[in-house]
Chains A and B, each alone.
Chain A
Amino acid sequence: MNLKLKIWRQKDANDKGSMVDYDIQNVSEHMSFLEMLDVLNEELIEKGDDPVAFDHDCREGICGMCSLYINGEAHGPDRMVTTCQLHMRKFKDGDTIYIEPFRANAFPVVKDLVVDRSSFDRIQHAGGYISVNTSGNTQDANAIPIPKDDADLAFDAATCIGCGACVASCKNSSAMLFVSAKVSQFALLPQGQVEAKDRVTNMVNKMDEEGFGNCTNTGACEVQCPKGISLDNISRMNREFLSANLKKS
């Protein structure tokens, strides 16, 4: 199929940037979206042009590195997949495809479609962990009985790959789905209880400090999340936050 691409090009973080048109021919419907961009980049390099910079790593939907806002949707028109798992069969011959970086002030553009998502790392550092004695006396986690429902919900929350699609798709650039998943995966397990109060408060404070917007419960994040992280996690985080701060006062 032949496609018209409108791609955001930006030389560096200080450049203003703009949408640039490209035509690409003979795209196989079996290609992944990133493979299609690889082909475009080969053509650009052959012509002596600067290839389009975009994030990618595992290309199997696990690492959370690929991003892209495609035709107004984070990770494109397919559901429960990352951009690397999106196939060109989702598009038709002659289509125009808009390809933009994930937009949020907390995700500044580094170059073209590459954004700096280290704000997520800093939120994790603020509380997304449990302190465990690793001196050799650590208790086997499997030795602690945990209700199956809780274990399943904690696992579901832990499948968040931190790609930032929730932020990109939210009209407010809110990171609450990500933060709530990281809070929930510990809040549901006994290992997470010791630091529970500080965790939720510190992570929420860090999220605000990084400049993310506020959640208005539109639910777009849940729809666009490639891992199907549930809004129930945001509700749980709100509950954890309320509980932690009522107990503090």
Chain B
Amino acid sequence: MSKSSFYTSVGYKILMALSGLFLMVFLVQHLTINMLSVISPDTFNEASHFMGTNPLVQFLLQPVLMFAVIFHFVMGFVLELKNRNARSVDYAFKNPSTSSSWMSRNMIISGLTVLAFLVLHFVDFWIPEINTKYVLGDMTGLMADGNYRYFHELRHEFQSLPRVIAYVVAFIFLALHLQHGFKSSFQSVGLTNGNKRLALLKFGNLFAIVVPLGFVVVALFHFLTQSH
């Protein structure tokens, strides 16, 4: 794609969709590892240690993921501002629910909620993890008793009811974001038409429910299976 093509509304749409599709793939990968914590703590520990210490994951995939997250949010804000500027005088009477869903009109609200959750998530997991590995220099992933620390740390975070509630609320908004975002991504890259649109809509709705619900199940499982 030539440089100038990126600076058109369709170019922005395509880039926004590609970053969204990448983030959805990441969500599936993240959920898969999280589910291991419910099924097998040992496998969860091993998978977490692999993801946390593998150079390819740490120094290639992680920066790409960070870039995709930042790009998706920044581009989302830029497009929202541009779109708001396209109509200086608003209608006196609006009736948008007759022709579009709440989810499709309020991606910025669901997106901002997910962004707020990401801040909490980074404080809970990512920053301590980076501190342990790259500031303190402990790459072993072990606690003093010689066991892996990952499962223990996960359980510890889900002891707090307010935190679990925050996670559940955030994933409800993620579900709303995905309900529109999934099918919208395919539309933006030109992969929908006719029957395919209907199939993508159905699969997108399923994806928007199953993936966030999986994260909620993990959080609730660890909250409910330990003493408080």
From A171, A204, A234, B96 is in contact (CB under 8 Å) with A171
Binding-face segment, B40-48, B127-135, B190-198: B190-198
* A169 and B189 contact, Cβ closer than 8 Å, known pairs A71-B93, A208-B9: no
* A218 and B101 contact, Cβ closer than 8 Å, known pairs A106-B86, A172-B86, A245-B5: yes
Q: Per-residue 0/1 for B56-95: is the Cβ within 8 Å of any A Cβ (1 yes, 0 no)?
A: 0000000000000000000000010011011111111111
Contact B98 A238 (CB under 8 A): no
> Which chain B residue lies CB-closest to A214?
B9
- A104: CB under 8 A from chain B? yes
Q: Give A103 to B194 CA distance when docked, in angstroms.
A: 30
**Residues in B whose Cβ lies below 8 Å from that of A249:** 1-2, 5
Q: Give A204 to B91 CA distance when docked, in angstroms.
A: 26
- A231: CB under 8 A from chain B? yes
Q: Give A216 to B188 CA distance when docked, in angstroms.
A: 9
Contact A98 B92 (CB under 8 A): yes
Contact A98 B93 (CB under 8 A): yes
Contact A218 B104 (CB under 8 A): yes
Q: How many residues of A contact B (CB 8 A)?
A: 53
- A141: CB under 8 A from chain B? no
Q: Give A17 to B13 CA distance when docked, in angstroms.
A: 35
Contact A72 B197 (CB under 8 A): no
B185 vs chain A, min Cβ distance (A): 9
Contact B96 A174 (CB under 8 A): no
B5 vs chain A, min Cβ distance (A): 4
Q: Give A212 to B85 CA distance when docked, in angstroms.
A: 9
**Residues in A whose Cβ lies below 8 Å from that of B10:** 176, 204, 237-238, 241
> Which chain B residue lies CB-closest to A246?
B1
Contact A173 B83 (CB under 8 A): yes
From B79, B87, B105, B192, A218 is in contact (CB under 8 Å) with B105
Contact B183 A217 (CB under 8 A): yes
**Residues in A whose Cβ lies below 8 Å from that of B19:** none
Q: Per-residue 0/1 for B178-214: is the Cβ within 8 Å of any A Cβ (1 yes, 0 no)?
A: 0010011001111111100100000000000000000
Q: How many residues of B contact A (CB 8 A)?
A: 44
Contact A214 B99 (CB under 8 A): no
The CB with the most chain A CB atoms within 10 A, among B8, B13, B87, B180, is that of: B87
A115 vs chain B, min Cβ distance (A): 11
- A129: CB under 8 A from chain B? no
Contact B89 A235 (CB under 8 A): no
Q: Give A235 to B10 CA distance when docked, in angstroms.
A: 10
Contact B96 A215 (CB under 8 A): no
Q: Give A73 to B104 CA distance when docked, in angstroms.
A: 17
Seen from chain A, the residues whose Cβ lies within 8 Å of a Cβ on chain B are 6, 8, 17, 19, 69, 71-73, 77, 98, 100, 103-106, 169, 171-174, 176, 201, 204-205, 207-208, 211-220, 223-224, 231-232, 234-242, 245-246, 248-249
Seen from chain B, the residues whose Cβ lies within 8 Å of a Cβ on chain A are 1-2, 5, 8-14, 79, 82-83, 85-96, 98-101, 104-105, 107, 180, 183-184, 187-194, 197
Apart from A72-B93, A235-B191, what 20 extra A-B contacts exist at CB < 8 Å? A19-B92, A72-B96, A100-B92, A103-B90, A105-B85, A171-B96, A173-B83, A173-B86, A176-B10, A201-B5, A208-B8, A214-B9, A216-B83, A216-B107, A217-B180, A219-B100, A219-B104, A241-B11, A241-B190, A245-B1
Top 3 nearest A-B pairs (CB, nearest first) are: A72-B95, A239-B190, A213-B86
* 21 A-B residue pairs with CB within 8 Å: A69-B91, A77-B98, A105-B86, A105-B87, A169-B99, A171-B105, A172-B87, A205-B8, A216-B83, A216-B104, A217-B104, A217-B180, A219-B100, A219-B101, A223-B100, A231-B192, A238-B187, A238-B190, A242-B14, A245-B2, A248-B5
